[in-house]
């Protein structure tokens, strides 16, 4: 068997696949070539190039539909990245999925297609209704579609039998109308993608500093002399962060990457808009130290840093900021006692790191004048994620690294407006003050009972308690945990509605009645009665700005998300006093209402038209802590960590590089050296050897739920990789099937996508592999 390539005989039969460690810089020419291929494949080389270069630009540009990294503040002419361009090109494609397409393909047949093939079929162009007799989607008029929604919702004996799911791409204006519709109907059933990604961040930050958001902005990233980046591969998840990392290295900052995997973004890069370095192949390091804790070892690492700081007081009285602690924090003495009582041996065991490595990070942090700690799903999708993030905050508070330049907490949000969704009302546990102000502005009375989140709405569909499911963007069926269970639950609904741009698995896993309502993409012009309409988004650092589409709609039948929400709301609330149609005609009217309804959005229309928009106020940034103590609170939680039984491993799911959430662009993962293979599991070489496994061997993976049940996948390829012993990693959404629906964090209610207890064994049928 060749180490370079092998011939598959399992799930990838007939395709040559390979894996070699990636030795090239992140971004650079690899990204440029990849972008060219995508634009060519989508038949958008010329027009696509023109449109993508208006991405993230003021004065008529549009916001990237990908990640939520903030836009450049200094007039950068190419504030773009590989994945953002892929995302836009995927949306710009000339391929169409229309009535003729569905006339040729039944749903049963389409269910056999790969997820890549489904989305690659093209843009949805007209509203469609599922016809059970033919097992096909057939055309339906917009008015008829709205009537179907209205009939089902009006016929529910309890509005809590409906659920309104949101992906992170929906605009602020669309978000506000969507939650207004749900609450005027009478429910807080507003599950969203944040329930699966950063719910833990919001709850931890709220308890610690009184706000559910980070306090940093891009200026802080430009000024900080210590960046600790945890649980994220920026080269794939937030590629524009590479610019900040490269600039930080060039000014002499320390950059510590904390991740079970050493990812491409932790090594070096060539930033594509740096023309001279691109031309001369000059790379810039993007990290100064890599730290590889075991899965769920982050809290122990942070507590070890705190212990190092407290012990350093013997020779450095300024190792912690005594004045800041005294003036602005609570519970320090209890925290100090907790830290001092934990032995280094336990910290080593829980983190998977030697004491010397923990102290090395602690010393870097102690010597820094200012520090930012950022984190992503590698931290949040664990059982004790809230405690882990609060421990991050403890470390920041010890040295007063909040409320000053170059310092603070910085959660890295994934989708382009996921933070704005929560700000503008997508919250199944809304606060009374938020509801009271919104009700007063809109003239409704919202329900006060908490609604269903993602992990609770799925069992509710399974039991019949939720009968209508409306999905505003995204691909809920694949994004959710416990795939087979989720599919069965969705199929028990009386009606499922998906508002989408492209065909995906959630259209094929549907209720007894089902609608596909096609919407405009972020790149497309939205013509309203009063002229071209712009929408707003909030990035991960609380900046709010306008976005205008650049290209005419792919089909005359497409409607904006806002128009679709307004149409469904009007049909289901015939006696509503809310001017749904007026809102759909002119988004300034929505923004005027939001200015009344949401704190921080006062004078919305004027402020958002300022250059670069405006930043929402963050009290904690001003050292105003809206907590019960009126101070920033140290957490004294017991140390978290997973005790793994002999023979078991902890599995984390992740995206490949050639993927955005559930959208698969190819079966490649360039930065991990993978070609033409997704059904794989990365393992520690010693763990493989202990199981008698060689590279590319077929394995079966079994997960173990808390209730004693098991789930499994078979015929995956074992790939040796630089992972800590006891840990394994593989791709979502394929491995979501292993995440039990009942196993979610007791602290954040998030599915444990990166904390799955598994057993990996050689497949019962391991076939002969031939290579080239």
Q: Rounded mean pLDDT of the chain?
A: 91
Rounded to 10°, the helix 82-92/45-52 angle is: 130
* Percentage with pLDDT > 70 across the chain: 90
Q: What share of the chain is helix, strand, coil (3-state, %, to 5)?
A: 40, 20, 45
Q: Which of the given ranges, 11-20, 38-47, 411-420, has the highest pLDDT on average? A: 411-420
Q: What is the pLDDT of residue 4?
A: 31
Q: What is the pLDDT of residue 443?
A: 97
- Per the CB < 8 A criterion, the answer to whether 419 and 538 are in contact is yes
pLDDT mean over 290-317: 97
Token pair recorded at residue 753: 């996508």
- DSSP conformational letter for 708: S
Which tens digit of pLDDT belongs to each residue from 365-383? Answer: 999 999 999 999 999 999 9
- DSSP conformational letter for 225: S
Q: What is the pLDDT of residue 215?
A: 96
Which tens digit of pLDDT belongs to each residue from 39-55? Answer: 666 555 556 666 666 66
Indicate left, alpha or beta for 717 from its phi (over 0: left) and psi (-120 to 50: alpha): beta
Name the nearest CA neighbour of 415 among 181, 647, 194, 696: 194
Tokens 């050493």 correspond to 262
- Per the CB < 8 A criterion, the answer to whether 350 and 278 are in contact is no
Element spanning 718, H or E = strand 710-720
Number of H-type helices and E-type strands within the chain: 31, 34
Of residues 770 and 570, more confidence is placed in: 570
CA distance 546 to 526: 13
Q: What are phi and psi of 324, to 5 degrees?
A: -60, -45
- Per the CB < 8 A criterion, the answer to whether 99 and 138 are in contact is yes
Whether the predicted pLDDT of 8 surpasses 60: no
Residue partners of 280: CB distance under 8 A and separation at least 6? none
Neighbours of 530 (CB within 10 A): 11
Q: How far is CA 719 from the centre of its chain?
A: 26
Q: What is the pLDDT of residue 42?
A: 59
CA distance 532 to 277: 39
Q: DSSP letter string over 153-186? A: HHT-SSGGGEEEEE-TTS-HHHHHHHHHHHHHHT
pLDDT mean over 636-656: 90
Q: What is the pLDDT of residue 578?
A: 98
CA distance 466 to 469: 7
End-to-end CA distance of the chain: 8
What's the predicted TM-score (pTM) here? 0.93
Q: DSSP letter string over 590-650? A: HHHHHHHHSTT-TTHHHHHTSTT-EE---GGGGT---STTSSEEPP-PPPP---PPTT-EE
Q: What are phi and psi of 386, to 5 degrees?
A: -65, -45
Q: What is the pLDDT of residue 525?
A: 94
pLDDT mean over 71-92: 71
- DSSP conformational letter for 751: B
Neighbours of 46 (CB within 10 A): 9
Tokens 């990640």 correspond to 67
Q: What is the pLDDT of residue 35?
A: 67
Q: What is the pLDDT of residue 85?
A: 77
- DSSP conformational letter for 494: S
Helix intervals (H) in 515-586: 561-572, 580-585
Q: What are phi and psi of 627, to 5 degrees?
A: -110, 165
- Per the CB < 8 A criterion, the answer to whether 561 and 421 are in contact is no
Which tens digit of pLDDT belongs to each residue from 93-136? Answer: 889 999 999 999 999 999 999 999 999 999 999 999 999 999 99
């Amino acid at each position: 068997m060749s180490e370079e390539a092998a011939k598959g005989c399992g799930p990838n039969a007939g395709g040559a696949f390979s894996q070699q460690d990636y030795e090239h810089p992140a971004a650079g020419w690899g990204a440029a070539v990849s972008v060219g291929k995508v634009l060519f494949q989508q038949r958008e080389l010329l027009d696509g190039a023109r449109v993508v270069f208006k991405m993230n630009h003021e004065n008529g540009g549009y916001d990237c539909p990908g990640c939520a990294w903030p836009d450049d503040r200094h007039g950068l002419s190419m504030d773009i990245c590989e994945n953002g361009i892929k995302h836009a090109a995927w949306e710009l494609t000339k391929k169409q999925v229309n009535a003729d397409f569905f006339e040729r393909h039944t749903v049963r047949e389409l269910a056999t297609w790969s997820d890549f093939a489904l989305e690659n079929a093209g843009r949805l162009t007209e509203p469609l209704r599922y016809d059970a007799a033919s097992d096909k989607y057939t055309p339906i008029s917009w008015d008829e579609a709205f009537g179907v929604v209205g009939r089902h919702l009006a016929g529910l004996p309890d509005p809590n039998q409906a659920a309104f799911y949101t992906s992170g791409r929906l605009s602020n204006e669309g978000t506000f109308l969507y939650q207004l519709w749900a609450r005027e109907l009478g429910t807080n059933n507003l599950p969203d993608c944040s329930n699966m990604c950063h719910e833990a961040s919001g709850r931890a930050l709220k308890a610690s500093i009184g706000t559910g958001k980070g306090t940093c902005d891009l200026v802080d990233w430009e000024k900080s002399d210590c960046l600790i980046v945890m649980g994220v591969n920026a080269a794939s998840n937030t590629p524009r962060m590479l610019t900040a990392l490269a600039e930080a290295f060039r000014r002499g900052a320390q950059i510590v990457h904390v991740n079970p995997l050493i990812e491409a973004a932790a090594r070096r890069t060539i930033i594509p808009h740096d023309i001279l370095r691109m031309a001369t192949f000059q790379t810039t390091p993007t990290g100064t130290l890599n730290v590889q804790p075991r899965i769920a070892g982050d809290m122990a690492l942070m507590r070890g840093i705190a212990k190092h700081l407290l012990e350093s007081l013997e020779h450095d009285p300024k190792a912690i900021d005594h004045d800041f602690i005294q003036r602005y924090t609570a519970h320090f003495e209890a925290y100090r006692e907790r830290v001092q009582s934990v032995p280094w041996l336990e910290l080593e065991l829980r983190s998977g790191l030697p004491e010397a490595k923990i102290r090395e990070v602690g010393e870097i942090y102690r010597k820094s004048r200012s520090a930012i700690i950022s984190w992503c799903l590698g931290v949040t999708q664990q059982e004790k994620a809230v405690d882990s993030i609060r421990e991050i905050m403890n470390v920041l508070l010890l040295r007063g690294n909040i409320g000053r330049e170059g310092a603070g907490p910085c959660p890295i949000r994934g989708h382009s407006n996921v933070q704005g969704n929560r700000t503008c009302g997508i919250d199944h546990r809304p606060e009374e003050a938020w509801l009271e102000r919104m009700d007063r502005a809109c003239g409704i009375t919202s329900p006060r009972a908490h609604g269903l989140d993602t992990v609770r709405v799925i069992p509710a569909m399974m039991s019949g308690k939720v009968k209508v499911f409306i999905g505003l963007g995204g691909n809920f069926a694949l994004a959710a945990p416990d795939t087979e269970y989720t599919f069965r639950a969705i199929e028990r609904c009386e009606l499922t509605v998906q508002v989408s741009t492209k065909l995906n698995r959630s259209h094929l896993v549907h209720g007894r009645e089902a609608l596909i309502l096609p919407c405009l993409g972020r790149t497309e012009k939205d013509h309203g009665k009063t002229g071209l309409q712009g929408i707003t988004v909030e990035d991960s650092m609380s900046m709010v700005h306008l976005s205008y589409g650049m290209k005419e709609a792919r089909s005359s039948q497409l409607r904006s998300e806002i128009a679709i929400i307004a149409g469904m709301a009007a049909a289901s609330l015939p006696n509503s006093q809310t001017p749904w149609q007026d809102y759909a005609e002119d988004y300034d009217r929505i923004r005027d209402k939001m200015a009344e309804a949401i704190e921080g959005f006062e004078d919305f229309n004027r402020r958002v038209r300022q250059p670069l928009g405006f930043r929402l106020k963050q009290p904690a940034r001003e050292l105003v802590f809206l907590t019960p103590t009126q101070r920033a609170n140290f957490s004294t939680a017991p140390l978290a960590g997973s005790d793994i039984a002999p023979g078991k491993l902890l599995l984390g799911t992740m995206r490949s590089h050639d993927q955005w959430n559930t959208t698969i662009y190819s079966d490649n993962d360039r930065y991990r050296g993978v070609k033409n293979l997704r059904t794989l599991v990365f393992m520690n070489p010693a763990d493989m050897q202990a199981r008698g496994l060689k590279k590319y061997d077929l394995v079966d993976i079994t997960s173990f739920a808390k209730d004693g049940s098991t789930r499994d996948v078979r015929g995956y390829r074992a790939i040796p990789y630089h992972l800590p012993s006891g840990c394994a990693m593989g791709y979502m959404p394929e491995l979501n099937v292993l995440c039990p629906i009942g196993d979610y964090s007791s602290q954040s209610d998030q599915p444990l996508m990166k904390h799955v207890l598994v057993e990996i064994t050689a497949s019962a049928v391991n076939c002969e592999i031939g290579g080239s």
